[in-house]
Structure 1
Amino acid sequence: MSEPSSYLVCASQRSGSTLLVESLRATTVAGNPEEYFQYLPSTSRSPQPRQWFEGITDESVLSLLAPLEQGIVDTRTSEQWRDQLRSLGKTPNGVWGGKLMWNQVPLVLDRAAGLRDRSGEGLRAALDDILGPGLTFVHVFRGDVVAQAVSMWRAVQTQVWRDDATPPNLHDGAEYHADGIAHLVRILSEQDRQWRWWFEAEGLDHVDVSFDDLVRNPQATVAKVLIELGLDPQLAPPPPLKRQSDGRSREWVERYREEAAEKGLPL
């Protein structure tokens, strides 16, 4: 077995990345992967529902989303933030794990800009300066972006982003809205395009993990990633999370596809 490597899961929201990182965490040797880069310095919180819809003025969409909360300003220096992130993401064997969404790249660049002795500009240099060189990159993607957007549309309304035990609540208060879903289709499609462009532009080898593979055979998919990290594939655990998709989501996906064909909405 080769020396284990640290890694960064590169994804977009509702792509299956949480199932992957929680499975890797459950091995106890594959780092403590969290979405460390999601917290806005102005609030110390991840983007709130309405912040996903900046520029949208349609009140029928905005009325379905919780109002903004002020939060607390993060006063850590870039060095303090980096040192804490490195510590939190590491298991005793030295493997660090984390997750980055493309919409969080500006936060990474902003944090890195405050570090002393920068190695260069751009995302690759920022990640090297924050986490050290030699990261393994894992690209998680979902081919059905409409289903992905429907999942996110429900999540931003309910603010329930994961399910450890109970099945989805059919009466969770979420409402269908084609324009809300269309907005997220555009965002999520662009995020994946940007990841693919970045890997190619930087000439980076990476591990591809599809949502379909994760759902169809999660243990085998996690085992594949463990092999790439130089870790024992036998440590791949049973899925620690339940899938949140249900019949209601599937109905919304079909309904949106029909409306998209009629109104020219993105697919």
Structure 2
Amino acid sequence: MSGPGRPDIDRAYLVCASQRSGSTLLVESLRVTGVAGRPAEFFEYLPDTSLPPQSPDWFVGVHDPAIDALLAPVRPGRPDTRDAQEWRDDVRGQGVGENGVWGGKLMWNQSTLLCHRVRDLLGGREPLLREAVEAVVGVEPLWVYVHRADVAGQAVSMWRAVQTQEWTAGASDRDARAEYHLGAIAHLAEYFVAQQRAWEGWFTREGIEPLRIEFDELVADPTSTTARVLDVLGLDPTLAPPPPLRRQGDARSREWVARYRDEAAEHGYPVSTAHPDAVPAAES
């Protein structure tokens, strides 16, 4: 069993993505169907703090006081005291629905942490990523790959979020104080190109053909996109809901993206996943 009073996991899917790629819109749409489990980003929480990565974590190795001054302050956390078995039971139990369907989301930058956490389940042996996922979920999931070719827009969205800690739509005083910074956006754009290339390389090496969903397709018609995932899972596609989230991008985002694209052309910074000079992320 997945845990006391919880159903066994019969089917599973894992949304693979990078931050600000539209994956939250897809996951929330699947969640509200009531039949696609209770998907969440279970693997983002750091054992030392029980919190997701915070704003400075996205700029490790970047030494720019102007960027540091714009980042949201670090919140205190507390260590995660669960052992590996308790952690796995929580992930399984929190993601599974009453019909035995489990859903989750994994970003490439979380894959190493996931493998480390699974190590104690395997007698101290460090697993590869696919083995780690199966050790947690118990079955081979449907791999759903959400990607965003426009890393200029993706990086601008992330830069606003790490300054403000506003991850969904809704104006606030904090967002009004966010400032444009070319170097910060370029660093994040390079990071997202590397993450997406890492996913593509991993799928190829593993012989996996994931269910591919592009950002533009998703935001243009979230209901139809969600219905496609449900159909592949063998669930009722007519349960796909209207979009449960409003798109966060606005006129300010478009202004920053246009500005970044102009400046990126001068400096050779990436604006899309086709950029030839991005450095691949480490493989897992």
Q: Please classify the TM superposition score into its range, dividing by the shorter chain length.
A: over 0.9
Instruction: Give secondary structure in 1 for the equivalent of 2:143.
Output: strand
Which of 185, 198, 201 is equivalent to 1:194?
Answer: 198
1:53 aligns with 2:59: yes
Match of 1:100, as an amino acid?
L
CA pair 217-168 structure 1, distance change in 2 beyond 3 A? farther
CA pair 169-219 structure 1, distance change in 2 beyond 3 A? farther
Match of 2:128, as an amino acid?
G
Q: Residue 129 of structure 1 corresponds to which residue in structure 2?
A: 135
Q: Residue 216 of structure 1 corresponds to which residue in structure 2?
A: 220
Which of 224, 229, 234 is equivalent to 1:230?
Answer: 234
CA RMSD of aligned residues (A): 1.8
Match of 1:206, as an amino acid?
P
Which of 20, 32, 36 is equivalent to 1:30?
Answer: 36
Q: Residue 78 of structure 2 corresponds to which residue in structure 1?
A: 72
Matches of 2:213 and 2:223, distance apart in 1: 12
Q: Residue 257 of structure 1 corresponds to which residue in structure 2?
A: 261
Q: Residue 93 of structure 1 corresponds to which residue in structure 2?
A: 99
Q: Residue 276 of structure 2 corresponds to which residue in structure 1?
A: none
Q: Residue 103 of structure 1 corresponds to which residue in structure 2?
A: 109
Match of 1:33, as an amino acid?
P
Equivalent pair of 1:15/1:141 in contact (CA under 8 Å): yes
Matches of 1:221 and 1:144, distance apart in 2: 19
Q: What displacement does 1:95 show? A: 0.3
Aligned residues: 263
Q: Residue 16 of structure 1 corresponds to which residue in structure 2?
A: 22
* Stretches of structure 2 lacking an aligned partner (at least 5 in a row): 1-8, 272-284
Q: Residue 152 of structure 1 corresponds to which residue in structure 2?
A: 158
Match of 1:247, as an amino acid?
A
Q: What displacement does 1:140 show? A: 0.3
* Stretches of structure 1 lacking an aligned partner (at least 5 in a row): none
Which of 241, 244, 249 is equivalent to 1:240?
Answer: 244
Which of 169, 172, 176 is equivalent to 2:176?
Answer: 172
Instruction: Give secondary structure in 2 for the equivalent of 1:115.
Output: helix
Matches of 2:148 and 2:43, distance apart in 1: 21
Equivalent pair of 2:116/2:126 in contact (CA under 8 Å): no
Matches of 1:31 and 1:238, distance apart in 2: 18
Matches of 1:184 and 1:158, distance apart in 2: 16
Matches of 1:26 and 1:39, distance apart in 2: 23
Matches of 1:75 and 1:170, distance apart in 2: 33
**Percent of aligned positions that are identical:** 54
Q: Residue 87 of structure 2 corresponds to which residue in structure 1?
A: 81
Equivalent pair of 1:49/1:156 in contact (CA under 8 Å): yes
Matches of 1:176 and 1:118, distance apart in 2: 45
Q: Residue 183 of structure 1 corresponds to which residue in structure 2?
A: 187
Q: What displacement does 1:173 show? A: 1.1
Matches of 1:118 and 1:203, distance apart in 2: 27
CA pair 170-69 structure 1, distance change in 2 beyond 3 A? closer
Q: What displacement does 1:4 show? A: 7.0
Equivalent pair of 1:34/1:89 in contact (CA under 8 Å): yes
TM-score by length of structure 1 reads 0.94
Q: What displacement does 1:128 show? A: 1.0
CA pair 170-38 structure 1, distance change in 2 beyond 3 A? closer
Matches of 1:227 and 1:171, distance apart in 2: 38
